[in-house]
Structure 1
């Protein structure tokens, strides 16, 4: 090998060593064990949830100071942050409606957006008046997948977006997250939807079960049920941090409030993990 060739390969090696790897920058942690969860809600007679209510989505309305849950059988529920003042109401758009996820877009309003997978839609619903207002059909973006369609949704605010932000929709069949724009600010009646793009954070896993936007830390949190993995992502899908061996089973909903992590399980349980990231 000539000196010129040797110098070329040495230069290439130095340059490659100087390029950071996205995967190398990830922090992989075990889910905290010492933090004993607080059992916020469970089925009657021990708790306040009606028998048969299966929590499948969870969010927090900061202005109303209410946790909002949805259930597989077309039910919505609200409660205080400590689980008190529980109220629920059955609600159906059609006989096949299967509520799987819920999010808040604008806390100034009383609207929540409920994800259903049969068919794949987002429903705009007023949790104060308990009235359905409109339905955004997403079948042209997310193909029908039976029980493996929409499983998670989070609204990610963006002051530069014409609608105030984008909906990040978790598709269980592939584990992908779709970014979709809905006319929630420009219109009170339009029901069209615009696909922007999608990404798959963990290609080796499907079963994406929960999404939430962590406002305090400006990041997206995504929860995978079967592998029990929690992932923190940037808004464009880059992995920041992972927690493995998430506690519990059949985790379906997730939200972060003032550093406390809340996880809803479809067995009928809601747990709070206080000061999640400061625990070991």
Structure 2
């Protein structure tokens, strides 16, 4: 089943016929809100607002572990996120839709990055963190309705909540990043630990801070003005995606924990076995 994680401005899913509202409580704390289980165009779907209803949580305050766990527990096998992003490449102008294939974690370890630890040891490969099948399906959905979705990009995730300096913007460009945002890490890596196929659609709102023209530097008011227009296109894109059969996630995602968990079952307590069983589904 596909799970949608809505970012800024994406707090509900139009057309979702809600069949159940599932608890936000998890072994890793409270998710950003209830998980909505329902159907869009007959397609079974899960939805969760990343920042909570009314945008209550800043990027560094989001409980990413609880969000991903709640969606996996509800039956998700793949996760598609929507996020506001800044562009580090002049070709990716504000208003563009862009999909990362790779990630750079520039949050520098300040967020809880993993489900594992505290008696459960695992090392999961994230060499290819994004589901190419899901990303390709989104690009194809855009083509069907005349929307171009840039793909194969690199996203650098920063801590926030402040917007970056010009020096930081240039540093991320030197790393080879095309996009900058505050929310996809650790979400993308937790999705892999939960054996979910993951992809995200970035809604480009600005050129971050690297351009010489100060008028092009990221400003919250401008970001939200542009984001509203781009969000309408993103909703059309999602509707097109759901109108066609969804892809099956790659085995690399759905079997990510095979051989990755080092702690033997006999060393786990009941609570650890329970949440690990959910991740292994």
Q: Is the structural similarity TM-score above 0.5?
A: no
Question: TM-score normalised to the size of structure 2?
Answer: 0.25
Whose helix proportion is higher, 1 or 2?
Answer: 2
Structure of greater relative contact order (alpha carbons < 8 Å, 6+ residues apart):
2
* Largest Rg, 1 or 2: 1
So what's the TM-score if we normalise by structure 1? 0.26
